[in-house]
Amino acid sequence: MTTIGILIAATPAQANTDAWKECSAIYLDGTRGPAVGAVGGGNENTKNSTTLTEVNLYVKDTRADGHHVGIRLVTRRNNGTDHYWPWHKLYAGAGTTDSWYTTATDSGGIKLVWREVAVFEGDSNLGWCPTDPQAN
């Protein structure tokens, strides 16, 4: 019998925040195959059904591949449509990280919250991942 263990690293959440969520963006790196190019995630505080406060977005470029990485917030409105907030991009290269702190308000409501992490070549998205959605 073989046992496979998975180590999950957690970033501690700040007091009164939702749990930290993270994912790894995978893309096809030429002839080398699938590669993790970025890791990112974040958390936020819920103010009410239309507003998030202390929204944390975090991204790390994990490969020396000439590509840049990014992260954005995505929220689902009460009517089921998704609000794709602007990308925050990191161009500094492999091993670098960046964080952004902001708020989000949508008069259509915020039912769910998640983040998308991606690897880019110019404006082309080469591969991405969504964090697990959280109810607001």
Mean pLDDT of 62-88: 97
Q: What's the CA dihedral at 83, 127, 46, 75 to 10 degrees?
A: 20
Topology annotation, domain 21-135: Immunoglobulin-like (2.60.40)
Tokens matching residue 122: 């110019």
Task: Indicate left, alpha or beta for 54 from its phi (over 0: left) and psi (-120 to 50: alpha).
Answer: left
* Angle, vertex CA 86, rays to CA 52 and CA 60, nearest 5: 90
Q: By mean pLDDT, which of 7-16, 22-31, 86-95, 105-114 is the weakest? A: 7-16
- Give me the residue label for tokens 């995505």: 74
Average pLDDT, the chain: 88
pLDDT band at 18 (very low <50, low <70, confident <90, very high): low
Domain residue spans of the chain? 21-135
